[in-house]
């Protein structure tokens, strides 16, 4: 399992089953919040869940470890969690890097850099077209990543605004804990809902069963999975939230209804469930108390339009770092999306080239009668031949719909299109559109 001898008593290797407990303790220590006096139990529990082999897409040897052979201790580690994401319905495999940490005495020696090289290689061997990470500011840019997909964010309200029932009234809908038998229903509702986003994460029934019953209680990524039912017991949707308050807020991780069910009708009952549950959690964790709820459902979600007058707060979204090592292959994969965007546009049947200049290299797209004929690396882009230019990796912001071409051009003077045709094509091929990812953690 040794991958590399780093000298000075340090080896870089894959984790083995007998590393599970050490990894859990290491990550609980490293990832505690900066003012915490205790290790992060929630991170230790998540690490242990990953390490003991219960996770559908992860095994302990998906962790890299740098070990100090003098005392056998872990001094640095990270992992690669395999999953599939969708780009407007087209699946592409993704490697997500998580639990990145180095012991303070061993920092700034390139230990994380070395482990990134290893997991980038594993990811390529697994045929993954993208690597993603949600992490500390700027740092991952140096390993080839660009901020490219919205992450989280949401809208919330305060408890006193949650509508109460009048005397004698009962809720038309109720929320109950999900069981593993609900996995097919949740999968079905989720699969329909994720289609409203440009980028989303594929989740199969095995993963839903893991969410429902497979994670240990303190784990930071565990959610209470719930089913929303009508008074007659029909399943109408599902809800997920952590089994604790964050500060004084109960966060909603997922809330989706079956097609044909009214958000306006169901949501008041869901809010009353959140109030009752949040109050219970508050009572268990003084000095916290339930003060409000946040639907952490990204920049755009039907529930926001169902209860606009109850939403006072906005949580700004974060951003996923994305690395696309082979952009031409990625563009080939999503060609059907590009072709249908063209077919529905003013440029229907387009024949011609789009030569994208990223200064160090570029991407050369050729279309014929509205079909993508080729997508190739443009090794030494020539300024006067370029259709459009994008500094660094900013093109990824356009590709993943996070920013429109006009927005990128506004922010970066060295982003521009040569002519009207290039500008129109970029707007058609790469419209801005919200994404919402519930990643496989």
Ligand X SMILES: CC(C)(COP(=O)(O)OP(=O)(O)OC[C@H]1O[C@@H](n2cnc3c(N)ncnc32)[C@H](O)[C@@H]1OP(=O)(O)O)[C@@H](O)C(=O)NCCC(=O)NCCS
Closest CB 333 distance from ligand X, rounded Å = 27
- Interaction mask 170-189, ligand X, x per CB under 6 A: --------------------
Q: Which sign, positive or negative, has the C-alpha torsion 405, 407, 413, 419?
A: positive
Closest CB 425 distance from ligand X, rounded Å = 36
| Spatial separation of the C-alpha atoms in residues 54 and 326, rounded to whole Å | 32
Closest CA to 268 of 293, 285, 247: 293
A 10 A CB-CB count for 52 gives 14
Closer residue to ligand X, CB minimum distance, 64 or 249: 64
Q: Look-up: residue for tokens 């992060």?
A: 40
Closest CB 96 distance from ligand X, rounded Å = 11
| Spatial separation of the C-alpha atoms in residues 284 and 169, rounded to whole Å | 28
Please give the torsion angle defined by the CA atoms of residues 146, 202, 118 and 78, in that order, rounded to the nearest 10 degrees. 90
For position 331 contacting ligand X by CB under 6 A, the verdict is no
Q: How far is CA 49 from CA 16, 219, 220, 254, in A?
A: 14, 8, 11, 22
Closest CB 44 distance from ligand X, rounded Å = 14
Please tell me the chain's helix, strand, coil percentages from 3-state DSSP, rounded to the nearest 5. 35, 30, 35
Output the 3-class SS for 354-398: EEEECCCCEEEEEEECCEEEEEEEECCCCHHHCCEECCCCCHHHH
The tokens of 426 are what? 């970029």
The tokens of 275 are what? 């109030």
Closest CA to 180 of 134, 227, 146: 227
Closest CA to 274 of 298, 297, 240: 240
Closest CB 148 distance from ligand X, rounded Å = 16
For position 112 contacting ligand X by CB under 6 A, the verdict is yes
Closest CB 115 distance from ligand X, rounded Å = 8
Closer residue to ligand X, CB minimum distance, 122 or 188: 122
Closest CB 94 distance from ligand X, rounded Å = 17
The CB-nearest residue to ligand X is 135
Closest CB 110 distance from ligand X, rounded Å = 4
CB 119 within 8 A of CB 82: no
Closer residue to ligand X, CB minimum distance, 100 or 207: 100
Closer residue to ligand X, CB minimum distance, 141 or 196: 141
Closer residue to ligand X, CB minimum distance, 113 or 305: 113
- Interaction mask 133-172, ligand X, x per CB under 6 A: --xx--x--x------------------------------
Closer residue to ligand X, CB minimum distance, 86 or 100: 100
Closest CB 104 distance from ligand X, rounded Å = 8
Closest CB 27 distance from ligand X, rounded Å = 9
Segment interacting with ligand X (CB under 6 A) among 117-125, 132-140, 158-166, 392-400: 132-140
Going edge to edge, which strands form the sheet with 371-378?
371-378, 362-368, 352-357, 388-389, 416-417
The tokens of 401 are what? 């719909």
Binding-residue total with ligand X (CB under 6 A): 17
- Interaction mask 21-60, ligand X, x per CB under 6 A: ---------xx-----------------------------
A 10 A CB-CB count for 344 gives 10
Closest CB 284 distance from ligand X, rounded Å = 29
**Which of 111, 227, 228, 422 is close enough to bind ligand X by CB under 6 A?**
111
- Interaction mask 91-110, ligand X, x per CB under 6 A: ---------xxx----xxxx
For position 76 contacting ligand X by CB under 6 A, the verdict is yes
- Interaction mask 340-369, ligand X, x per CB under 6 A: ------------------------------
The tokens of 120 are what? 């980038």
Closer residue to ligand X, CB minimum distance, 56 or 135: 135
3-state secondary structure of 117: helix
DSSP character at residue 44: H
What residue ranges bind ligand X (CB under 6 A)? Answer: 30-31, 76, 100-102, 107-113, 135-136, 139, 142
């Amino acid at each position: 399992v040794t991958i590399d001898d780093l000298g000075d008593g340090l080896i870089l290797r894959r984790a083995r089953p007998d590393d599970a407990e050490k990894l859990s303790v290491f990550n609980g220590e490293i990832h505690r919040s900066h003012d915490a006096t205790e290790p992060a139990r929630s991170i230790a529990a998540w690490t242990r869940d990953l390490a003991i082999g219960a996770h559908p897409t992860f095994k302990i040897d998906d962790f890299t470890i740098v070990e100090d052979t003098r005392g056998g201790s872990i001094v640095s580690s990270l992992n690669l969690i395999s999953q599939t994401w969708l780009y407007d319905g087209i699946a592409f495999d993704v490697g997500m890097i998580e639990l990145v940490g180095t012991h303070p005495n061993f920092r700034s020696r390139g230990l994380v850099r070395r482990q990134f090289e290893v997991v980038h290689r594993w990811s390529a061997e697994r045929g993954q077209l993208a690597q993603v990470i949600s992490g500390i500011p700027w740092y991952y840019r140096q390993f080839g990543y660009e901020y490219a997909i919205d992450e989280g964010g949401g809208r919330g309200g305060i408890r006193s605004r949650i509508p109460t029932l009048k005397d004698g009234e009962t809720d038309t809908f109720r929320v109950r804990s999900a069981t593993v038998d609900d996995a097919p229903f949740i999968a079905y509702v989720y699969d329909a809902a994720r289609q409203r986003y440009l980028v989303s994460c594929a989740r199969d029934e095995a993963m839903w069963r893991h969410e429902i019953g497979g994670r240990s209680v303190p784990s930071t990524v565990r959610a209470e999975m719930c089913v929303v039912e009508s008074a007659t017991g029909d399943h109408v949707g599902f809800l997920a939230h952590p089994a604790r308050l964050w500060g004084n807020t109960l966060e909603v991780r997922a809330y989706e209804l079956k097609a044909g069910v009214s958000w306006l009708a169901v949501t008041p009952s869901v809010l009353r469930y959140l109030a009752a549950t949040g109050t219970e959690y508050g009572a268990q964790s003084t000095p916290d108390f339930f003060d409000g709820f946040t639907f952490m459902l990204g920049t755009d979600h039907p529930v926001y339009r169902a209860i606009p007058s109850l939403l006072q707060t906005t949580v700004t979204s974060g951003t996923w770092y994305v690395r696309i090592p082979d952009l031409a292959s990625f563009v080939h994969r999503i060609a059907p999306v590009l072709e249908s965007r063209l077919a529905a546009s003013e440029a229907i049947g387009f024949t011609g080239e789009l030569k994208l200049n990223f200064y160090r290299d570029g991407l050369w797209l050729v279309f014929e009668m509205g079909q993508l004929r080729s997508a190739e690396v443009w090794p030494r882009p020539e300024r006067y031949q370029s259709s459009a230019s994008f500094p660094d990796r900013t093109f990824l912001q356009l590709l993943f719909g996070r920013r429109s071409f006009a927005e990128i051009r506004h922010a970066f003077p060295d982003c521009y299109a040569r002519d009207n045709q290039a500008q129109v094509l970029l707007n058609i091929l790469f419209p801005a559109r919200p994404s919402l990812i519930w990643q496989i953690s």
